[in-house]
Amino acid sequence: MLNDVIFLIFWLVIAVFAVLAVFLQKPIYNAFAMAFSIFSIAGMYVFLGYEFLAALQVLVYVGAISVAIIFVIMLSPPVTVSPKKINPYKIFIGIVTSLALFILIFVLYYGKFLSEKINLNQPSQGVKEIGNLLAMPYAVPFEIISVILLVAIMGAIVLAKKEE
């Protein structure tokens, strides 16, 4: 019971902060709201038994990505996107598309899962199994991801460097 209450709190925190992250007006607030939301998603992972992923989520999203976004916001001089004209076509298509997506997936797929239960008592596999998978069967994808990260870093440096 208590479990469910905590779960509900997390659920609502994620949802509310996600809404804030999308609709607040100052980028820095959005970034912080996103960080909170993502932090709470890590809580969800704990519910599912993925402790390692929860830690990774906090580390990478909150510790690195959010910080990087906040950095960029703070480094750029204050920029105000003037709330001048509203483009009705864009807002229309945005909301309609999203709603359509929501309804489509809900109706077509998720309706079947309405009463399914997850067995939370069964422990998820831990760091050891993940490590084994990364060491041999998934070694090549892992290396490719490493290369992608490296290239991303180099690319970011090259792009953001002031050309003299």
62-81 residues near another protein, rule: CB under 8 A = 64-65, 68-69, 72-73, 75-76, 79, 81
Non-local (6+) Cβ contacts of 13 within 8 A are 36, 37, 40
x/- letters, 18..47, toward another protein (CB under 8 A): xx-xxx---x--xx--x--xx--x--xx-x
How far apart are alpha carbons 53 and 129 in whole angstroms?
Answer: 13
Residue 50 interacting with another protein (CB under 8 A): yes
Residue 9 binds another protein (CB under 8 A):
no
Binding mask 89-108 for another protein (x = CB under 8 A): xxx-xxxxxxxxxx-xxx-x
Q: Nearest distance from residue 67's CB to another protein, in Å?
A: 10
Coil/strand/helix, residue 114: coil
Say if CB 155 and CB 82 are below 8 A apart: no
C-alpha to C-alpha distance for 54 and 125, rounded to whole angstroms? 13
Q: Does 114 bind another protein (CB under 8 A)?
A: yes
